[in-house]
Amino acid sequence: SPFPWHLWKEEMSTRMLGPRLQRVFKNYQAANKYRVPPEAGTRRGGARQMGLELLCQLKARLTVRTLHPGEGPFAAPEWRGILPERDLAEELGPLQTCAVVSSAGSLQKSGLGKEIDAHDAVLRFNAAPTIGYEHDVGSKTTVRLVNSQLMASKEQHFLDNPLYDSGVLVAWDPAPYAADLQEWYRSPDYPIFTQFRARRAQHPHQAAHILHPQLEWELWELIQENAAEAIQRNPPSSGLLGTVLMLSLCPLVHVYEYLPSRRQTDLCHYYEHFQDAACTLGAYHPLLFEKNLVRRMNRGLDADVFQHGRVTLPGLSTLNC
Ligand code: C5P
């Protein structure tokens, strides 16, 4: 790989990317699919924050919640009984420690399975399996964050693949910038709403939530404000959304292989053969800048990132801001 891990000891910039990823970055930066206004994310431009200050900014500004029954378009009759009455915190009960497991290829040969499973709750992403990978990623799945693209993909069999049966499902879809629920409901990126209802019909006893889309652009603004250059005008990756979700639920969060360890590889996912450095460094998502942010928020040792790919973050409820 042309990008040794030690680069993440400091701030990463797009200048450190290879020519292909730089080109992809410029294209996404120029496109503005979600109609982000030019002034967005410039509020505190230049005043980049560190550590606990940054976590306090997250706590003060982010709306981390799932949709409630009856709000906006979800008051329609076809949504009766579809959205959960209990919010995620009630659903999961009291938690002390939470693990967020990125799907990075560098989880291979990590031997982190036992450590990950020792957390009260484990969040996984999209199609990430545990069966056959227990030694490296563990076997517990408490929450699975799924994007709408996966939910709509024929190959993924979201409605009947048993991979999606364990844990609480949380679904998300990129909404237009500053859109209200009605606007988003009319034009989701992928058909999240029909797929969500279909899944609920086939699995009525599995808890399933939809992430409130307000979080996406609140988080995007924080990433942009804290970045030294103009970032992609697309929503953050599942990885950061899941991290923030767990920060809102747990007093202590460990994030695995989001900041890459010494095992860093171009292998996109630990469960596939596909190779692309963009999975780790970003293309569509402003992943490079998300990771800069997480690196600054990390309360753990650099050596823990290097050895284990482990980042340690205090939950939002523990912060005295
Ligand atoms: O690819 P997918 O979105 O399912 O992966 C889950 C998350 O893990 C990503 O959104 C990204 O934040 C993180 N990831 C990563 N490096 C990789 C693969 C995934 O940081 N190589």
3-state secondary structure of 269: strand
Residue 9 pLDDT: 73
State the distance from the centre of ligand 1 to the C-alpha of 105, rounded, in angstroms: 9
What sign does the CA torsion over 58, 313, 150, 265 have? positive
Phi and psi (nearest 5°) for 150? -65, -40
Rounded Cα–Cα distance for residues 315 and 108 (Å): 27
Cα(87) to centroid(ligand 1), Å: 25
> For ligand 1, is residue 113 a contact (CB within 6 Å)?
no
Q: Are strands 208-210 and 252-256 parallel, antiparallel or unpaired?
A: unpaired
Given a contact cutoff of 8 angstroms between Cβ atoms, the answer to whether 95 and 250 are in contact is yes
**Single-letter amino acid, residue 251:** P
Helix (H) or strand (E) run with residue 302 in it = helix 302-308
Residue 304 per-residue DSSP state:
H
Closest residue to atom 5 of ligand 1, CA basis: 103
| Nearest partner of 315 among 254, 225, 258, 224, judged by Cα | 254
Q: Atom 16 (ligand 1): residue with closest C-alpha?
A: 280
Give the C-alpha separation, 206 to 76, whole Å: 22
CA–centroid distance, residue 293 to ligand 1 (Å):
16
Question: Which atom of ligand 1 is least distant from the CA of 239?
Answer: 12
What the block records as the tokens of 8 is 């993440």
Alpha-carbon span 248 to 250, nearest angstrom: 6
Q: How many CB atoms are located within 10 Å of the residue 85 CB?
A: 9
Are 127 and 150 contacting, i.e. CB atoms less than 8 angstroms apart?
yes
**What atom in ligand 1 is closest to the CA of residue 240?**
12
Burial class of residue 293, CB neighbours in 10 A (0-12, 13-18, 19+): buried
Ligand 1 atom at minimal distance to the Cα of residue 106: 21
Report the pLDDT value the prediction gives residue 2, as an integer from 0 to 100: 46
pLDDT at 99: 99
Task: Specify whether the CB–CB gap between 315 and 251 falls below 8 A.
Answer: yes
Strands of 252-256's sheet, edge to edge?
A: 208-210, 168-172, 143-147, 121-125, 97-101, 252-256, 310-314
Digitized pLDDT (tens) for each residue of the chain, 321 residues in all: 444 545 577 789 999 899 999 999 999 988 999 999 988 988 654 556 778 999 999 999 999 999 999 999 999 999 999 999 999 999 999 999 999 999 999 999 999 999 999 999 999 999 999 999 999 999 999 999 999 999 999 999 999 999 999 999 999 999 999 899 999 999 999 999 999 999 999 999 999 999 999 999 999 999 999 999 999 999 999 999 999 999 999 999 999 999 999 999 999 999 999 999 999 999 999 999 999 999 999 999 989 999 999 999 999 999 999
66, 109, 166, 193 from 83: Cα distances, Å: 9, 39, 18, 11
DSSP for residue 251: S
Instruction: Tell how far the Cα of 83 is from the centroid of ligand 1, in angstroms.
Output: 27
Q: Answer whether 243 contacts ligand 1 (Cβ < 6 A).
A: no
Predicted pLDDT at 51: 87
Pocket flag, ligand 1, residue 106 (CB < 6 Å): no
Output the residue whose Cα is nearest ligand 1's atom 18: 104
Rg of the chain taking only CA atoms, in angstroms? 19
Q: Whose CA is nearest to atom 4 of ligand 1?
A: 126
Q: 85 C-alpha vs ligand 1 centroid, how far in Å?
A: 30
Distance 70 CA to ligand 1 centre (A): 32
How many angstroms is it from 119 CA to the middle of ligand 1?
A: 20
**How far is ligand 1, taken at its centre, from the CA of residue 268, in Å?**
8
Ligand 1, atom 11: closest residue by C-alpha? 239
**Mutation test of ligand 1: which of 5, 125, 293 has the most ligand atoms closer than 8 Å to its C-beta?**
125
